[in-house]
Structure 1
Amino acid sequence: MVKLILMNSYEYQEYITSAIEGYAKEKVLSGNWNEEESISKAKDEYTKLLPKGEKTKNNFLYTILKEDKAIGVIWLAQKSEEEGFIYDINILKEYQGFGYSKEAMKQIESVGKKLGMIKIGLHVFGHNKVARGLYEKLGYQTTNVLMEKEI
């Protein structure tokens, strides 16, 4: 069983660096951004979403622990009184495939319920079939699909 603990400032600094790099890479892979602009655009987005870092109001950034070892992160934002949004869930590569994401998702849903949320949304890149499969198994439904084709 995994445990969620709120990030401290040190954990946040480690997280934000890797999150920006990962997000920039995903945006390039999905064809949204070119590589040259990706890091600066990712930094801008994170700065807008988390202007006060891990202390940004209505944002809950957790370290995911397995037997007191940090194995990943999950970030839930409260968008309104009743709606939340999972901006990020990331399990370290060596811990993937053991069901830890599923456990963390169920726990973050409990956190959301305690905060009064009745709905939680998330975004998943179209090319991330593993994550899409997990979210569907957990009952998340597709609400929008964007498609494009290079011609």
Structure 2
Amino acid sequence: EEALQKSKESFQHLLPDGLQTDHHFLLSLSKPDTNESIGYFWYHFDENHPQKEAFIYNFLIFEPYRGQGLGRRALESLEKHVKKQGVKKLSLHVFAHNKRAIHLYQQAMYDITDINMSKDII
């Protein structure tokens, strides 16, 4: 219940004008052969950013379509798409427990730029 409330607050903060929020882009992903929806991207890019960096807030391939190479193809398509906008660097955050995503990003040549660590003290 608390997580849902925090999620709503986060979305309201990041997307105050919903889909019309400046510099935020939400893209639907569809399977090439059938055009069925397989996931989405949400990224932020402000063309005035000095390093021309875009940040991927969310990238999701729906469960039935995972493990088929579609995530890799989606990232390649996103790179081509943002390059046309003038993006020179794509960044994102991935949780350490999400081994599948880490593997995908490393295959796509993303570099680890930061590591947070924690320890539960019981």
- 2:38 equivalent to 1:71: yes
Which residue of 2 is the match for residue 31 of structure 1?
Answer: none
Q: 1:138: which partner in 2?
A: 108
Aligned pairs, how many?
A: 116
Deviations 1:24-62 (A, max 9, x none): xxxxxxxxxxxx521111111111111111221111101
Aligned twin of 2:27: 62
What pairs up with 1:69-148 in 2 under 5 angstroms?
A: 69-79=36-46, 80=49, 82-148=52-118
Point out which structure has higher relative CO (alpha carbons under 8 A, 6+ apart).
Answer: 1
Structure with the higher helix share, 1 or 2: 1
| Aligned partner letter, 1:92 | F
Moved over 4 A (4+): none
Aligned AA for 2:80?
S
Corresponding residue of 1:10: none
Instruction: Give the TM-score normalised by structure 1.
Output: 0.73
Structure 2 unaligned blocks of 5 or more = none
Distance 2:92 2:12 in 1: 19
Is the Cα contact below 8 Å between 1:76 and 1:108 reproduced in 2?
A: no
Instruction: Give the letter aligned to residue 96 of structure 2.
Output: G
Letter in 1 for 2:65: Y
Q: Report the 3-state secondary structure (helix = DSSP H, G, I; strand = E; otherwise coil) of the residue aligned with 2:58.
A: strand
Q: Which residue among 40, 53, 64 is the counterpart of 2:18?
A: 53
Report % sequence identity: 38
What's the secondary structure of 1:111's corresponding residue? helix
**Cα deviation digits, residues 70-89 of structure 1 (max 9, x gap):** 11111121042601011111
* Structure 1 residue 101, shift from structure 2 partner: 0.9
Amino acid at match of 2:41: I
Q: Tell me, in whole angstroms, the C-alpha distance in 1 between the residues paired with 2:56 and 2:4.
A: 21
Residues 106-148 of structure 1 deviation map (CA, whole Å, 9 limit, x = unaligned): 1111121111111010010110000001001111111111010
Alignment of 1:7-46 (within 5 A): 36-46=1-11
